Amino acid sequence: MKQKIFFAALSAALLLGALSGCAGGLVNNVNDGTVNTNLEQTEFNIMGGISALSSGYENNEVLTALQERAGIHITWETMSDSLAEQVNIRVTGGQYPDAFMGVGFSNYDLARYGDDGTFLDLTPYLTPDIMPNLCAILEEHPEIRAAITQEDGKIYGLPSGEQMTTAGIGADMDDAFSIFSVPQYSMINKAWLDDLGLEVPTSLDELHDALKAFKDNDMSARYYGNAPGTTLPMTTGFDEWCWGQNIFYSGFGFTNWPNDVINDLHLKSDGTVEFVCASDAYRDCLTYFHDWYAEGLMDVEMFSQSDSQLIAKCQQGYVGVSVWWYIEELKGEYAEDYVFLPPLTGPKGTQYENTRGVTIRPGSPITSGQLNITNKCKSPINLLKFYDLWYNGETVMQLQYGPIGVFFTGQDESGMWLAITEEEAQAKYGKSAGEVRNAYETMGPKLILAEYYNEVFYMEDRAVERLTDLDQFWMPYVKDTSFYPVDCVFTGMEMETIDWHKADFEAAVKEQEGLWLRDGGPTDAEWQAYKDHLSQKCGMDDLLQVYQDAYDRYAAAK
């Protein structure tokens, strides 16, 4: 009996100890809208992400120079992998640093850590005294401020984003499109078409016939001399970002990009939001493409292959039609034989005959999860003054690519910085320009504005090439340029709703899409059951409401 009492007392004591230990971690809740004017701390610990190819932040001359200018010293604790787990462990254990950099917290995380006081509300610090550079940018770009402000008006992190748009190749700033607008460039083997006496298809029917001709004539064997039977008329991934089949759906009035917000969300030009995956066009589309799949025109491995397998097939010259970010990269030595295959119109004799609808994607969002100061930091002002230096074209250029004198070799007559060429990099450092850049690239609150590409430094050649293709070839096919804005701000409740349903919803849609492509489109009963499942089990109506509300607020604020 005595023993039992002893153990009970012991476990009670342990439990109390554990509880008080937890409470001890969260004492400095200072999110009350005032500035902490303490200036004593000049040594900071920062934990965060780093590119696996980086040579480290300790010896990074750009970062060192910035620290000297700000009069502080930072001890870095960086990792390129399993960052999220480590950060979770540290925050839960109360053993976190003065700030997190380059972690990429989601808005959901930000709200959570902001509410419990782990992250400081930076709103009172965004003044011209403390952060002159950033304030000037926010003044000029109110949309950036809107994107990083939480629903309750607080800001838990500094903004970051890369606005790589057609403005960098001369398009009008207000009318520019992100490099991500059309991630999937479809391409077709022109040499095979010529050999068979066919034109580049403009409709799905024509493509169907061309694919059939590729298959029947075994073009891989006939034209490239590969083993008989190796021809793959068309191969893609399934709902993949830059190598999915989705671009071909344009004949039915949409392309359901696997979206960052949620799969298949579509903003119509009248400002209403809908899920493509519950529309009749979507149903007709899957029914149509099942025939292609059944005829062996689409690769049976499309559901399972990795991008490596796709590249492998393409570089052997097996493939007639495929999809990628660039032609050259996917096709290797066969690249010259390929041309872009434009978005196609729908099948003849149906209501889609003249339909050609590409849904474009938004650019990368402005986020505030790349630099977050915690309540462990005694002198936030000192740290913020350091980060304010980042909000300058020349500085952010060096953080992104490498220092002036190493990656940037000089300025031309218009004052634009010139990047090191491939030959110079090889001669001077014995590595490629990309490797030089990778060693220096810093992850963090880098805000690369579209105008920097016209005023400070030139965009990389490959990006220019892709944007030119986008502007000249792809955008003319896009009639409706509305897309769901990634900068929409959700309330805490809304984020809960999305977080709750997102995984189920996406999984249900994707699985069913694959099944219908493979086994044949839905009967009326199946279609109804599917829609019921989405709204009853996967929260489709709630999600739609959330996205509509958030968009309406966004549109009203504009």
Partner 1 sequence: MRKASGMSDRTSQMILTVICAVVLLIVAYPLYYVVVASFSDPYQVYAGKTFLFPSGFTLDGYKAVFLNDGIVSGFLNSVKYTVVGTIFSVVMLYITAYPLAQKDLPGRKALSIFFLFTMYFAGGLVPTYLVVKQTGLVGSMWSLFLPGGVGVGNMIIVRNYFQSSIPHDLVEAAEIDGCSKLRTFFSVVIPLSMPILAVMVVFSMVAYWNDWFTALIYLGGKNIPLPLVMRNILIKSSATASQAATISGGYAELNKLTELLKFCSMIVAALPMLAIYPFVQKYFEKGFMAGAVKG
Would you say 425 or 546 has its CB closer to partner 1?
425
User: Cβ 311 to partner 1, closest distance in Å?
Assistant: 5
Cα atoms found within 13 Å of the Cα of residue 14, Cβ hemisphere only:
6
State the angle between helix axes of 107-115 and 492-519 in degrees (0 to 180), rounded to the nearest 10.
150
292: Cβ–Cβ under 8 A, 6 or more apart, which residues?
Answer: 208, 211, 234, 298
The string of DSSP letters for 105-155 reads --HHHHHHHHHTTSBPP-GGG-STTT-HHHHHHHHH-HHHHHHHS-TTS--
User: Cβ 319 to partner 1, closest distance in Å?
Assistant: 10
Closest CA to 119 of 354, 376, 384, 479: 376
Residues of this chain that interact with partner 1 (CB under 8 A) are 52-53, 80-82, 85, 88-89, 92-93, 95, 164, 179, 240-243, 307-309, 311-313, 315-316, 318, 325, 328-330, 332, 422, 432-435, 437, 460, 462-463, 466
Token pair of 477, please?
A: 């096919």
465: Cβ–Cβ under 8 A, 6 or more apart, which residues?
Answer: 326
User: Cβ 306 to partner 1, closest distance in Å?
Assistant: 8
Task: Mark residue 264 as left, alpha or beta (left: phi above 0; alpha: psi -120 to 50; beta: remaining).
Answer: left
Cα separation, 396 vs 382, whole angstroms: 19
Would you say 468 or 482 has its CB closer to partner 1?
468
User: Cβ 90 to partner 1, closest distance in Å?
Assistant: 9
Would you say 127 or 432 has its CB closer to partner 1?
432
User: Cβ 338 to partner 1, closest distance in Å?
Assistant: 14
Would you say 184 or 255 has its CB closer to partner 1?
184
- Longest Cα–Cα distance of the chain, Å, equals 97
Closest CA to 361 of 506, 482, 490, 503: 482
Cα atoms found within 13 Å of the Cα of residue 173, Cβ hemisphere only:
8
Would you say 241 or 473 has its CB closer to partner 1?
241
User: Cβ 132 to partner 1, closest distance in Å?
Assistant: 29
User: Cβ 507 to partner 1, closest distance in Å?
Assistant: 21
User: Cβ 397 to partner 1, closest distance in Å?
Assistant: 14
Closest CA to 61 of 459, 408, 381: 408
Residue with tokens 């402005």: 366
User: Cβ 463 to partner 1, closest distance in Å?
Assistant: 7
Whole-angstrom CA distances from 41 to 72, 74, 96, 122, 162 are 8, 11, 16, 18, 31
Cα separation, 303 vs 237, whole angstroms: 6
State the angle between helix axes of 280-294 and 204-216 in degrees (0 to 180), rounded to the nearest 10.
20
Would you say 194 or 422 has its CB closer to partner 1?
422
| Residues forming beta bridges with residue 340, ordered by sequence position | 187
User: Cβ 435 to partner 1, closest distance in Å?
Assistant: 7
Whole-angstrom CA distances from 427 to 229, 318, 477, 484, 554 are 46, 38, 44, 47, 51
Residue with tokens 């409709």: 203
Would you say 150 or 178 has its CB closer to partner 1?
178
85: Cβ–Cβ under 8 A, 6 or more apart, which residues?
Answer: none
User: Cβ 159 to partner 1, closest distance in Å?
Assistant: 20
User: Cβ 234 to partner 1, closest distance in Å?
Assistant: 16
Cα separation, 177 vs 161, whole angstroms: 15
Residue with tokens 């910035």: 66
